[in-house]
Amino acid sequence: MKFPCRLDKFISHLAEIPRTQARASIKRKEVSVNGEVITSHNFQLAQQDEVLHQGTPLVFLGKRYYMLNKPVGYVCANSDELHKTVFDLLDEPNMSDFHVAGRLDIDTTGLVIITNDGDWSHKITSPKSNKFKTYLVETQEPITDEALEQLRTGVMLHNEKDLTRPAIAEKLANYGLRLSISEGKYHQVKRMLYAVDNKVVELHREQIAGITLDENLASGEYRLLTAQEIKL
């Protein structure tokens, strides 16, 4: 939300009601700004103005950034008719303008970032920015040295014209590796393992663009990013 901002838009956004309902409320003299009743829906608000709607303060909280430890069974969408979404896990006000920066599949766990800052999220998720996302991968078959070398060099995915960018691949166990990629192709990690004759059994993201999932967050828990994490 940008300021100055029209009063009806501000109320609609923060009270989460239709614009027409906000205008009607203003007309009924249910809105005050800095202690003065305002009856014009075109009134221009400054960010520091104090707004009361039906006796309830409406406070614009500005840009917010949340880290969530996503569980299995949740989709990274604002709404979904069939499944629970990651937004069902957040108990925060005024989430209508928020989006997921770096989606995960319904069966993938780990770090998800939810924000209302589109420019910031584009910087950390755009392939052009060359930011790495790091995953812990459990595989169906043992991980071979040949497969590691292929992942580090780049593999050809089904229905793609070019090799994937070189990944950082570290073998952790016979059936486990840490994989960092700087692209965001559809189901990329799963398709990369399939390209080296293997299959992903479990997938967990632990890092995006230098921001690491807080080990103190249990599955389904979240917290605000720190100022240092936002700078990353």
Give catalytic residue positions.
105
Nearest to 207 by CA among 114, 122, 131: 131
CB 167 within 8 A of CB 130: no
Nearest 5°: the CA angle 188, 208, 205 is: 60
213 Cβ contact partners less than 8 Å away, ≥ 6 residues apart:
67, 69, 110, 111, 205, 206, 207
3-state secondary structure 140-197: CCCCCHHHHHHHHHCCECCCCCCECCCCEEEEEECCEEEEEECCCCCCHHHHHHHHCC
Backbone φ, ψ for residue 124 (5° rounding): -90, -15
C-alpha 217/C-alpha 160 separation (Å) is 37
Length of the chain: 232
Helix axis angle, 7-15 to 19-27, nearest 10°:
120
Do 200 and 189 form a contact (C-beta atoms < 8 A)?
yes
Q: Give the whole-angstrom CA distance, residue 103 versus residue 75.
A: 8
